[in-house]
Structure 1
Amino acid sequence: MPTPLSWDEQEMDELERRIRNHPVPVDLAEKTLNRCRNEQMELPIRTSRRFLKTKIGAAAAMAVALVICSGYVSPAMAASLKQVPGIASLFRFADDLGLRTAEEQGLLTENDAASTHGGITLKAPVAVYDGTRVSVGLERSFESESSANVSLQEQMTSVELLIDGQSTDRYGKDMGLGFFTFPTTDKNASIIEMSDLKNQGGQPLPDRFELTVRATLAGVDEPFELRIPVERKADQSVALLPDVSREADGLSFKVNKVEFTPITTQITTELTFADDNRMEDRDRAALAYDVEDEQGHSLRVLSGTGHPISENVMVTDTRFEPFASVPHTLVIKPFRYVYLEGGDGAFALDQDGNPKKIYLPELELKIEVPSAPDKK
């Protein structure tokens, strides 16, 4: 059994301050951009049968880079917080407002899935599914006290997911489902996230299923296998089918669907190119967008899954953090990132260290949200 971690007075003061003030998450963008300045930002997107890492100028890439570059809770502090009632879930340390909300509102499914090999135990104590994404928290522990030099995220060399014991291929249109792995501020924890392709011709996930996670860790011969019960909890979810679009310069930008849950805001868009502007033109295909409400509040992007449904049509689900409440109006502001010359996918930065954006007002869309949208 691991030796319990102790905390010193400084960490106890910090713990008390966090519990007393319960602050909202700090925006880490300014602190992490400089650390990320010279690093290559990549977003895993399922665009073929293989799991490709495509360096695209999408807002999701920026979000993933910020998560990977940030780290502001020490392992000792993380262990300390987990011993406090009400702060037990590793989702508390996720750089994701939706997952923290899921914990606060009791939307998590808790379980005791665990697997031990080579003196390491891998657990999956929590999962949440809101109809747009499945998020599973993983925790690593050691039989004896260890000062591992690498995080769980870095130690995982491969991950395979099964749904009710079968490949995820049957839920894709012509490929398996994509998934992401995200680190947390605790180096012994990681989050796996998966979404279906129901908006792109695939099959929706069941409301209840058993998710099998098979993970291989560097330095351990045998794979870890965890069987995790997943249940959709989306009683407060609503969906819109606005079917609004704009066209400019041989490009049509359309919003097919908007989904609101307490955990996620998901927007499904359709990008159609003129016949002479196929998706091989990567700069034109790499279209991102900001999402604002009627008061100008902007959502932080989390991840995205794109899939071509024809030679010149790309359908993409982009997941953002949730609104505090369903807004009256959504404003979709498409833009493209500016890249440095050289073709390595690095962002050009403005004088404040933020990625440069070129907004496309001719494609901007405004969506009025009914006072009582239909439930999903």
Structure 2
Amino acid sequence: MAGNHDQKLGEALRKVDNGMPDQVRHRIDETLSSLPERKKKWKRPSMIAGGIVASLAILLGTGFTNTTMAQVLQNIPFVESVFKLAGDSTLKTTVEKGLAEKVNKSAADQGITVTVNEAIYDGTGVSVGYVVQSDTVLEENVNPSIDFNVDGKRIGNYGVGGSSERYDDHTVLGVMHLDVSEPLPNEFDLGMKIKKLGESEGEWNVQFPVREISSENKVILPVEKKSSGDITVILEKVTFAPTATEVVYKLKQPSNREMELSFELLGSNGEHVEPLSLFKKDDTFKVSYEPFSTIPETITFRPQSRHDNEIDQILEKLEITVGVN
């Protein structure tokens, strides 16, 4: 199947061969000959996924902008959207619904090109799909070391998670999720300053506009309060978004014996979503969980068991269940 696809791709590329620079033609031939017979399976990411293949980085680097070529590029594997290939079905859905925004911005240094393919910001965090392509063989681990900025200002407190997949010796596809402690503007320019890719040091700076897409979001403000002894939990806000379920709550307890508590989030349909990130400021917490496959009728916010009967009896009284509709 993949062999037939590659053969058709080669024929399509040759049809637009007239007037193509020799350098571009040579790089295309190299790329076609190096395509694997089978498309690699994308591993399920820990928090994110996305990117594009080396072909796009090669052609963009030449400055070749033929309209017909742009149409042909849509048929090259991974170019249109790598979010679709991610093990995360949520990212596939954002593309299918037209929520992900095309970026296609590149930066090159040390013989390595980094291209941001697409991004989505749903109000809970920013997911970015990218590709790393090198003239030489890449290391197994090219996890980028990045400083982020918003409208030119460095972000103070943020968390980043992600995953990557090696496509071939010269290409790595990846995605990252950016979560911040403070609210972001509805629209802003996101700057990514990459200082290191694996063991390769350099400077890869990419900046692109980001716009919040919240039309798919559902927000509830339960302000539900539960107390047990001198511990109080107040569930203030829950946001159901395409890429995450965000919970904001307050936890009040005596400072002289604060208990470290974590909370499970469950839906009325029995679905359990895993936590992705947590931020704390004073007694207010913001936790991002995986998105629910479908928004449940009710959710339960439950302290996790400490495997201590006396403590668990206290924690049971802090469980909160609220309606969503």
Shared fold by TM > 0.5?
Answer: yes
- Please tell me the residue identity of whatever aligns with 2:141: S
Per-residue CA distance 1:1-52 (angstroms, 9 max, x = gap): 56343333xx36x88xxxxxxxxx99x7xxxxxxxxxxxxxxxxxxxxxxxx
1:351 aligned residue: none
Q: Which structure has the highest strand share of the two?
A: 2
* Aligned pair partner of 2:262 in 273, 285, 288: 288
1:191 aligned to 2:196? no
Indicate if the aligned counterparts of 1:267 and 1:319 stay in contact, CA closer than 8 A. yes
Q: Distance in 2 between matches of 1:276 and 1:221?
A: 46
* Aligned pair partner of 1:298 in 272, 283, 294: 272
2:83 aligned residue: 91
* Deviation of the 1:86 alpha carbon: 8.1
* Aligned pair partner of 1:240 in 200, 220, 236: 220
1:3 aligned residue: 31
1:322 aligned residue: 291
1:178 aligned to 2:158? yes
Provide closer, same or farther for how the CA distance between residues 97 and 290 of structure 1 changes in structure 2, counting only shifts above 3 A: farther
- Please tell me the residue identity of whatever aligns with 1:304: S
Q: After TM superposition, list the pairs within 5 Å mapping 1:99-248 onto structure 2.
A: 99-144=91-136, 146=137, 148-153=138-143, 156=144, 158-168=145-155, 176-186=156-166, 188-197=172-181, 202=182, 204-217=183-196, 218-248=198-228
- Runs (5+) with no aligned partner, structure 1: 16-24, 29-65, 77-81, 169-175, 279-283, 339-357, 371-376
* Deviation of the 1:305 alpha carbon: 2.7
Provide closer, same or farther for how the CA distance between residues 87 and 143 of structure 1 changes in structure 2, counting only shifts above 3 A: closer
Provide closer, same or farther for how the CA distance between residues 186 and 253 of structure 1 changes in structure 2, counting only shifts above 3 A: farther
Per-residue CA distance 1:235-284 (angstroms, 9 max, x = gap): 12121111112222432222110001233211112211124324xxxxx2
Q: Distance in 1 between matches of 2:112 and 2:205?
A: 13
Per-residue CA distance 1:187-223 (angstroms, 9 max, x = gap): 71333322333xxxx4x31111111100112554431
* Deviation of the 1:160 alpha carbon: 0.7
- Please tell me the residue identity of whatever aligns with 1:291: L
TM-score by length of 2: 0.70
* Deviation of the 1:99 alpha carbon: 2.2
* Aligned pair partner of 1:362 in 298, 303, 317: 317
2:61 aligned residue: none
- Please tell me the residue identity of whatever aligns with 1:192: M
Q: Distance in 1 between matches of 2:255 and 2:148?
A: 37
Provide closer, same or farther for how the CA distance between residues 277 and 186 of structure 1 changes in structure 2, counting only shifts above 3 A: same
SS where residue 3 of structure 1 aligns?
helix
Per-residue CA distance 1:297-353 (angstroms, 9 max, x = gap): 22233x2232232xxx2x222222222333211112210567xxxxxxxxxxxxxxx
Q: Distance in 2 between matches of 1:327 and 1:230?
A: 29
SS where residue 98 of structure 1 aligns?
helix
* Aligned pair partner of 1:258 in 238, 243, 247: 238
SS where residue 35 of structure 2 aligns?
coil
- Please tell me the residue identity of whatever aligns with 1:324: S
Provide closer, same or farther for how the CA distance between residues 277 and 219 of structure 1 changes in structure 2, counting only shifts above 3 A: closer
- Please tell me the residue identity of whatever aligns with 2:105: A
- Runs (5+) with no aligned partner, structure 2: 1-26, 55-73
Indicate if the aligned counterparts of 1:131 and 1:234 stay in contact, CA closer than 8 A. yes
Larger radius of gyration: 2
- Please tell me the residue identity of whatever aligns with 2:298: T
- Flag the structure with more relative contact order, 1 or 2, with Cα contacts below 8 A and sequence separation at least 6: 1
SS where residue 230 of structure 1 aligns?
strand
